[in-house]
Amino acid sequence: MANGGGFVLTGPVRDFDNQVTRPYDPDSGSLEIAAPNGAVIIAPIAGLVVAVSASSVAISLRLGDQAYRVIVGNLRLVSVPVGTQLATEQVIGEAGGNITLALRQVLDPTPRLAADAVEVRPTVNNLRLRAAPVNGTVIGTVTTNDVLESLEGRAVTLQKVGVNGQWLNVRTAAGQVGYVAAWFVRLEPLPPVTPKPLVLRPLQDNVQVLARPINGALVETIGTADLVTSLESEANTRRKLGVPFEWLNVQLATQKTGYTLAEFLGVEGEIAPPPPPPATTPITGVNLDILHPLGKPAADRMQGLGWVRLLYNVSFNPDNGTFGNTDLGPVHDRYRPVIEAYANAGLKVLLVFTHQTYGEGQPGFPLWEQMTSQDWQTLSTTFAGIVGQIAQFYAANGDIVHAYQIWNEQDAPVGSPASVSVPPSDYGFMLTASINAIKAVAPNVPVLTGGHNSGPGNGRNYAQATFAAMPGGVRPDGIAIHPYGRGPDPGSPYANFGHIDDEINAYTSLLPNTPVWFTEWGVLDRDFDPPSAIAQYATEFVTHLKTNQPGKVAAAIWYAWAQGMDNGYGLVNSSDQPRQPLYDQFLAVGAPVTGGRAGGSGRIAGGDTRLR
């Protein structure tokens, strides 16, 4: 908390008195605080996690025009990723013994530590307690069985204990206050850690508890009315909660033990009341482009659809026709009224961030085909910062964006005219940084991969390589794909690449129990085919998803709204007139999917826009 232009650091060792065992050392820029091995470590101040190692967490904060970085070190377990917006006293890990604390600018953090009590114990019996130092009246005696509270603060106490000629102001357990010879006392050691098991509640019904992770025998099925106790440390438990595919060892009310997926559990007392069931959302949607003359139709012309997808183009400035813009203010002014109108009409809005959000027209980078891994990391760091700012803007303006997508057709061949391809390891870095930046300001909004367009073989392999390059605790909320040339009837001229189920099965194997998102699909480069033929293909496509793949596809977003928005088959023609019967049938066919989590909260994914 702020304090007269400064701030106070909460003691980071929870449930202990945070004794300073080594004073501030200017050479290392840190001090040392007593902590038993395994003690729960909390954030000493609210701020943004900007760096994490295997044994340390760096928290950034700004007061006025001054920036500070608080670094907590010597942790044996870190439970927060980069990009986490921490509250004061939020758990960040476990101690690996005494921890270190540093405050960069560079400052001694000792004066800013909250004044917790420091306890000392006499090393001899019949130690005199005097009314004043040296020759003060003897008002009592204390023994090695007594524990005394120092009244001089941790820094001064640490300097005096064990030093000849120093006197320490103390209070006895009976409340008597006086002075003792500091060379006859020692710091009271910390008691052993008593683990505080977390009590957890399932977030949904039918959660399975297995005898061992993944393929163990079923022990019991639990639901939202049940409570379980974690058998793992608090820091480890909190690190796993909400993370897909993390198994947690728990004890049931029946005293049985087993393993369950931590993503389906929450801490009892910290779980918000379950929201009312969300309104069902049609899975169909359409790609729009507010910079195209026909690209931002009125919401009432899209009744029956569930989603609209928009590229958030920051680079291009339509006022002067230049590229490389990074000023978000005018961009927000262009997009916000459009997004607000769609959201208020009941449409869900998906924003896609690409090289046209940041990268296009920026000096200092080579041609896309010549980008090195270092170039991509440099670009991705700035890119993630920008998308985080955009997400923060919309979180502060009514949460009118319902999903974000990172990049577009990143798996396309190098030099593809429709997108900018990225090596999977570099895309893993970009995706991780972007997820962390967005989740820090909009934790409940799904963040999706860019739309994969290279099919169930190469595309799935690319996605798998991307995930392999990401930290284990960071994953997108869904995989987006662009299944052009696929459908329920491979004999159709619009399904020349094969069956649509091949795409669904390939990508859902990477994130089981999570629907995929078709952020672009449709018919390309067949402008003169009759709308009736396209209507039949689209209707059969969506009907197949609802009937044969319920809950497997969160959204199926057609490309595009209008003829002339690149090479997609428009729902309206270049004169903005509906192409019948396609227009009416497409708006009618997207009745809500049943039996899955599409369009609701939880592990859902989002879409991606076609960029030319």
pLDDT, tens digit (0-9, with 9 covering 90-100), for 546-574:
999 988 999 999 999 999 998 999 999 99
pLDDT of residue 604: 26
> Of 83, 78, 107, 63, nearest to 12 (Cα)?
78
User: Mean pLDDT for each consecutive 10-residue tract of the chain (612 residues)?
Assistant: 56 86 80 88 89 85 73 88 85 89 67 66 95 94 93 80 93 92 87 72 88 85 91 83 83 93 85 52 95 95 96 94 94 96 94 95 90 95 95 92 97 87 96 94 93 96 95 91 96 95 94 92 95 97 94 95 94 96 95 42 28 30
What number of other Cβ atoms are within 10 A of residue 611's Cβ? 21
pLDDT of residue 322: 93
DSSP 272: P
Query: Which pair of tokens denotes residue 541?
Result: 């496509």
User: Checking DSSP bridges between strand 177-181 and strand 185-187, what pairing results, if any?
Assistant: unpaired
237: three-class secondary structure by DSSP: helix
Measure the CA–CA gap between 380 and 2, rounded to whole angstroms. Answer: 33
553 Cβ contact partners less than 8 Å away, ≥ 6 residues apart: 283, 504, 515, 516, 517, 518, 545, 593, 598
Residue intervals of the chain classified under CATH 2.70.70.10 are 2-112
DSSP 413: P
Q: Residue 106: is the preceding peptide bond cis (ω within 30°)?
A: yes
Long-range contact pairs involving 26-29 (C-beta distance under 8 Å, separation at least 24): 26/106, 26/108, 28/100, 28/102, 29/102, 29/104, 29/106
226: three-class secondary structure by DSSP: coil
pLDDT of residue 105: 64
pLDDT of residue 116: 57
Q: Are 248 and 240 in contact (CB under 8 A)?
A: yes
**Upper half-sphere CA count for residue 88 (Cβ side, 13 Å):** 11
pLDDT of residue 590: 84
Q: Under CATH, domain 284-589 is a member of which superfamily?
A: Glycosidases (3.20.20.80)
Q: Are 41 and 70 in contact (CB under 8 A)?
A: no
pLDDT digit string (tens) for 480-520? Answer: 999 999 999 999 999 999 999 999 999 999 988 889 999 99
CATH number of 2-112: 2.70.70.10
pLDDT of residue 247: 87
pLDDT of residue 99: 92
Query: Which pair of tokens denotes residue 12?
Result: 């980071």
User: Checking DSSP bridges between strand 91-104 and strand 85-86, what pairing results, if any?
Assistant: unpaired
pLDDT of residue 156: 80
pLDDT of residue 68: 79
297 Cβ contact partners less than 8 Å away, ≥ 6 residues apart: 288, 561, 562, 572
Looking at CATH, the fold of the domain delimited by 199-267 is given as SH3 type barrels. (2.30.30)
376: three-class secondary structure by DSSP: helix
182 Cβ contact partners less than 8 Å away, ≥ 6 residues apart: 160, 161, 162, 163, 166, 167, 168
Residue intervals of the chain classified under CATH 2.30.30.40 are 118-187, 199-267
pLDDT digit string (tens) for 274-329? Answer: 444 444 789 999 999 999 999 999 999 999 999 999 999 999 999 999 999 999 99
pLDDT of residue 154: 72
DSSP 188-225: PPPPPP---PPEEEESSS-EEEESSTTTPPEEEEE-TT
CATH number of 118-187: 2.30.30.40
Query: Which pair of tokens denotes residue 102?
Result: 């540093």
* Phi, psi for residue 481 in degrees, rounded to 5: -140, 160
pLDDT of residue 610: 30
pLDDT of residue 178: 95
- When the pLDDT of each residue in the chain is averaged and rounded to a whole number, the result is 87
